[in-house]
Amino acid sequence: MRIAVIGTGYLGTTHAACMAQIGHDVLGVDIDPGKVAKLQSGEVPFFEPGIDNVVRDNLASGRLRFTDSYVEAADFADVHFLTVGTPQSETGLGANLSFLNTAIDALSPHLDRPALIVGKSTVPVGTAERLARRARSVAPAGDNIEFAWNPEFLREGFAVHDTLHPDRIVVGVEHPYEMGAAKKLAELYSPLTTDDDIPFLVTSLATAELAKVAANAFLATKISFINAISEVCEATSADVTMLAGAIGADKRIGREFLEAGLGFGGGCLPKDLRAFRARADELGLADVVTFLQVVDNINMTQRRRVIEATREICGSLVGARVAVLGVAFKPNSDDIRDSPALDVAGQLQLQGAVVSVFDPKAMDNAQHLFPTLNYSLSTLDACKGADVVLILTGWDEFRKLKPEKLEAVTRSKRIIDARNCLDPPSWRAAGWNYRGIGRP
């Protein structure tokens, strides 16, 4: 099929490259000519394991191209995916939908033959219906424009794998009983669904929009739940890691997303939770608003807990030398959007600490956003002369740290493992003051 993917950020680039990989002819569209030029030359402007090869292979095969022209996109494609960002609004909790509106307004006037528009961005329920009306009101093809919503569930760090091996495909359509758009998308995704038993769920537009928002809210809730329990564990000398194993063994609960620690961040969970809360508020659903607010509050409390633990262990933050290991919002990513790690590093510095940071991939992005921290060349460099070492992102490199190596460079043997990724007995046996989250 001939596909346009509009918005070549993280999601769009991955989707475009993977759709080419499964045999479609794909045109990636972006209004930033610099980004288009980079992608067209095979350079991916973000870190994501495996994506470079998929982009380069498909550029070479001729199935993948990039452009900044909506005219070209309308002329080329029969299916137009919308993959632009929906960040948190600058003035409130809701989602900023201006990029979606702009994309629809730029594309629609050029749609002069039947086409299918498929939204993938995460949006407040009700957005798709409004965008469909907006597109049809200006497109020369008018009612021959079909509309569908097909949320994306990929995780950063596993984007290529998750796109090529989805757990499920959800397709929201306007007329579930007519099946035109659903059939087209079933065919488009058939290389992904034929081998494995992948559910292909056809729903209404509203259900599809909500399915994504609810999935992220549930994941956020699971993390905040275990973080709330970690506080109870700390107050009672119980061990949250053992507890997570014990409850996670129940298939109804599941062990994944029960890692207690610094909490969730990134470009998705926090802003989706807040946009959901804003939408629930608009709908007058007070209990839902309160529920989502508590999940968010518990998450933000984790950052304060780590800052307080650092103050306590150092006596005072003023002048304390703090080594921060990890600034990315999670391992295997260079993404620092709403990163709990960078937030904590910044707050410690603002409260008087001398903060040296190291992250295997996110240094450039962090330096750009927060230039006043001390950026080190390596883990050991960051830990030189430290009064306390903080592990804030669970990179493998930090999981493998050995007490002997670290104590050769630090001033004191104190460590706060805010991602519970070290083995407490071996650090304590080596004479370290070790603190995790919710573990004795």
Q: Is 330 in the site for ligand UGA (CB under 6 A)?
A: yes
Q: Is 257 in the site for ligand UGA (CB under 6 A)?
A: yes
Q: Is 261 in the site for ligand UGA (CB under 6 A)?
A: yes
CB atoms within 10 A of CB 199: 10
Q: Quick one: which segment of 42-50, 89-97, 255-263, 310-318 binds ligand UGA (CB under 6 A)?
A: 255-263
List the one residue out of 320, 278, 303 whose CA is nearest residue 414: 320
CB contact at 8 A, 202 and 16: no
- Four-CA torsion 285, 291, 293, 299, nearest 10 degrees: -160
Question: What residues numbered 272-301 form the site for ligand UGA, per CB under 6 A?
Answer: 272
From 48, 209, 234, 259, residue interacting with ligand UGA (rule: CB under 6 A): 259
**Which pair of structure tokens corresponds to residue 268?**
């998705």
Q: Quick one: which segment of 73-81, 123-131, 150-158, 167-175 binds ligand UGA (CB under 6 A)?
A: 150-158
- The nearer residue to ligand UGA, 6 or 73, going by C-beta atoms, is 6
CB atoms within 10 A of CB 90: 6
Q: Is 266 in the site for ligand UGA (CB under 6 A)?
A: yes
Q: Quick one: which segment of 128-136, 258-266, 380-388, 431-439 binds ligand UGA (CB under 6 A)?
A: 258-266
- The nearer residue to ligand UGA, 138 or 201, going by C-beta atoms, is 201
- The nearer residue to ligand UGA, 155 or 413, going by C-beta atoms, is 155
Measure the CA–CA gap between 198 and 397, rounded to whole angstroms.
34
Measure the CA–CA gap between 174 and 329, rounded to whole angstroms.
36
What DSSP assignment string belongs to 265-320?
Answer: -SSSHHHHHHHHHHHHHHTT-HHHHHHHHHHHHHHHHHHHHHHHHHHHHHS-STT-
Helices and strands, number each (H, E), in the chain: 19, 14
Q: Is 349 in the site for ligand UGA (CB under 6 A)?
A: no
Measure the CA–CA gap between 171 and 150, rounded to whole angstroms.
5
Least Å distance, CB 71 to ligand UGA, is 30
Q: Is 149 in the site for ligand UGA (CB under 6 A)?
A: no
Measure the CA–CA gap between 411 and 414, rounded to whole angstroms.
9
Measure the CA–CA gap between 113 and 16, rounded to whole angstroms.
22
CB contact at 8 A, 419 and 344: no
Q: Is 7 in the site for ligand UGA (CB under 6 A)?
A: no
* Contacts of 222 by beta carbon, 8 Å cutoff, 6+ apart: 257, 258
Q: Site size for ligand UGA, by CB under 6 A? A: 22
Least Å distance, CB 110 to ligand UGA, is 28
Q: Quick one: which segment of 45-53, 262-270, 347-355, 356-364 binds ligand UGA (CB under 6 A)?
A: 262-270
- The nearer residue to ligand UGA, 263 or 438, going by C-beta atoms, is 263
Least Å distance, CB 321 to ligand UGA, is 26
Least Å distance, CB 85 to ligand UGA, is 10
Q: Quick one: which segment of 48-56, 256-264, 369-377, 395-403 binds ligand UGA (CB under 6 A)?
A: 256-264
Measure the CA–CA gap between 287 and 239, rounded to whole angstroms.
31
From 39, 115, 258, 392, residue interacting with ligand UGA (rule: CB under 6 A): 258
Q: Which residue is catalytic, options 268, 314, 383, 421?
A: 268
**Is 268 known to be catalytic?**
yes
Q: Is 424 in the site for ligand UGA (CB under 6 A)?
A: no
Active site residues: 268
Binding site for ligand UGA (CB under 6 A): 122, 152-156, 216, 219, 223, 257-259, 261, 263-266, 268-269, 272, 329-330
